[in-house]
């Protein structure tokens, strides 16, 4: 295999030794990513524009879409062990791939900063109760450093943290829900029957919820390339080959993710605010329960940020700057996320998520069209690491892919309520049409293609 400056060791195909995440760790990683206050906030902000039942329908529809994309993209990691930022070299060119990868890094850094801020404010409330003083800026820096250190030690360390955090967080979130209902003298039936304005868009809601996870849809290969291989990993049956990721995401993403959005919806309906900290402060009368709730909010951000935000952006930085180590990439990602000060845009998370889905939907469409429709799932791994290989295109940029991306993104902006759908469909069709004459499956036996 050709070795070149662009081939950072962390981006090389994973070996069997590198695949040290079992299905239970994988499930916990997904559960850790989904228990976060960004999702909680989004569930609350959808009301009163939509009825509770409509919000639940939007949640389920969004997660069905997201899971499908995660499984489809994750097959690249299962079979070939290469990360997202490397695979898209085949779509956009060796240098061109750095541009859509940078687009992916923007929301990763944004959400890291936002969720670190939420955690810092929550911990600040606890300190105010204990010692009567807190400093949000200092807490943001301390909590940010702790997350960066955890992420530097890799996915295995992240999974170990989640094994401790997720069961505790699940119990505490259940208690928060109970106290919300008890304090407001309401039942689940009352919440579901709550009147709404019905002036919101169901499709917009689906896009907003899905937009949180479209980012991880792109990075699904980054996770599956670390997943332990089973004896049927080379099966020609797609569903057999990907049963582990599906089982993990069914429990860790769909069940837990839907639950946290619904808890946010309950909080928004009963209190009239989207702010999880204000919801807790207005609903918890017991100081002990209040402190536990604030700590839950804080550590929920930690479990999400390390895997969903710091790791993907670190890999992207390492592709742009090959001499960076993983630790340096994680550290720089954390600094960028805090410098963005995303808490200034907290009132507009729905719109940020929808715009993100429009920005990255075409990238997902191009990647999936390239892998499934043009290369039929058969690639030569060496080509993605050879600077003189077939993905040189026009001076290392694939202008056809960028044309398709530009048109798809502009169309998604025009039809904002359906931004992701529009960008995805147009990019799949356009990329397939323009690239069909030059993008071919690898001419190797199936067994020889996979790493």
What is the pLDDT at residue 352? 83
Distance CA 96, CA 11 (A): 17
- Using DSSP, state whether 116 is helix, strand or coil: helix
What is the pLDDT at residue 162? 72
Burial (CB count <10 Å: 0-12, 13-18, 19+), residue 186 = middle
What is the pLDDT at residue 90? 95
What is the pLDDT at residue 6? 58
Superfamily holding 20-449: Hydantoin permease (1.10.4160.10)
Distance CA 292, CA 327 (A): 32
Angle of CA points 41, 43, 46, to nearest 5°? 105
- 272: which DSSP letter? S
What is the pLDDT at residue 170? 79
Give strand pairing partners of 227.
21
What is the pLDDT at residue 447? 44
What is the pLDDT at residue 284? 62
CB 313 within 8 A of CB 48: no
Tokens of 8: 């950072």
Tokens of 113: 């900063």
What is the pLDDT at residue 449? 44
- What ranges do the domains of the chain cover? 20-449
What is the pLDDT at residue 236? 80
Tokens of 183: 């304090």
Tokens of 270: 């009963």
Tokens of 326: 């993983």
What is the pLDDT at residue 285? 64
Rounded to 5 degrees, what are φ and ψ at 21?
Answer: -105, 115
CB 385 within 8 A of CB 404: no
- pLDDT, averaged in runs of 10, over the chain (451 residues): 58 88 87 77 85 92 90 94 94 94 90 90 86 91 92 75 74 79 88 89 84 79 88 78 90 85 88 78 69 75 81 86 88 95 82 83 95 95 92 95 96 85 94 92 57 47
- Exposure string of 65-75, with b = 16+ CB inside 10 Å and e = fewer, is bbbebbbbbbb
Rounded to 5 degrees, what are φ and ψ at 119?
Answer: -65, -40
Residues in the chain: 451
What is the pLDDT at residue 322? 80
Q: Where are the alpha helices (DSSP H) in 272-398?
A: 276-283, 287-305, 311-320, 326-339, 349-368
CA 116 from centre of chain: 16
User: Which residue is listed with tokens 């949640």?
Assistant: 59
């Amino acid at each position: 295999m050709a070795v070149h400056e662009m081939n950072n060791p962390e981006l090389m195909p994973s070996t069997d030794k590198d695949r040290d995440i079992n299905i239970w760790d994988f499930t916990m990683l997904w559960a850790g990513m989904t228990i976060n206050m960004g999702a909680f906030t989004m569930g609350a902000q959808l009301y009163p524009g939509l009825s509770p039942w409509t919000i639940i329908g939007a949640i389920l529809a969004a997660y069905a879409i997201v899971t499908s994309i995660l499984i489809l993209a994750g097959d690249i990691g299962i079979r070939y062990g290469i990360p997202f930022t490397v695979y898209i070299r085949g779509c956009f060119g060796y240098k061109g791939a750095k541009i859509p990868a940078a687009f992916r890094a923007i929301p990763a850094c944004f959400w890291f900063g936002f969720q670190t801020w939420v955690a810092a404010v929550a911990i600040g409330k606890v300190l105010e109760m204990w010692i009567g003083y807190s400093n949000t800026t200092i807490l943001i820096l301390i909590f940010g450093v702790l997350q960066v250190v955890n992420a530097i030690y890799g996915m295995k360390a992240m999974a170990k943290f989640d094994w401790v955090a997720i069961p505790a967080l699940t119990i505490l979130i259940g208690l928060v829900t109970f106290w919300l209902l008890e304090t407001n003298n309401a039942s689940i039936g009352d919440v579901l029957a709550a009147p709404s304005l019905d002036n919101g868009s169901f499709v917009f809601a689906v896009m907003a919820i899905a937009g949180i996870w479209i980012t991880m849809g792109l990075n699904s290969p980054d996770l599956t390339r670390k997943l332990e291989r089973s004896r049927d990993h080379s099966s020609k049956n797609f569903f057999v080959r990907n049963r582990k990721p599906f089982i993990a995401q069914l429990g860790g993403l769909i069940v837990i993710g839907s639950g946290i959005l619904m808890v946010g919806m309950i909080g928004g309906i009963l209190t009239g605010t989207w702010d999880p900290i204000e919801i807790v402060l207005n609903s918890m009368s017991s100081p002990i329960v209040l402190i536990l709730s604030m700590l839950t909010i804080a550590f929920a951000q930690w479990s999400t940020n390390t895997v969903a935000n710091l790791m993907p952006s670190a890999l992207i930085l390492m592709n742009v700057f090959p001499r960076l180590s993983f630790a340096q990439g994680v550290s720089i990602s954390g600094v960028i996320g805090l410098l963005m000060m995303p808490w200034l845009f907290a009132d507009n998370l729905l719109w940020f998520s929808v715009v993100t889905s429009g920005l990255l939907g075409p990238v997902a469409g191009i990647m999936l069209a390239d892998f499934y429709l043009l290369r039929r799932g058969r690639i030569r791994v060496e080509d993605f690491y050879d600077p003189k290989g077939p993905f040189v295109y026009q001076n290392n940029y694939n202008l056809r892919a960028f044309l398709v991306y530009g048109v798809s993104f502009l169309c998604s902006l025009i039809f904002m309520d359906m931004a992701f759908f529009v960008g995805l469909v147009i990019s799949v069709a356009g990329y397939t049409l323009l690239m069909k004459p030059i993008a071919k499956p690898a001419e190797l036996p199936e067994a020889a293609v996979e790493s």
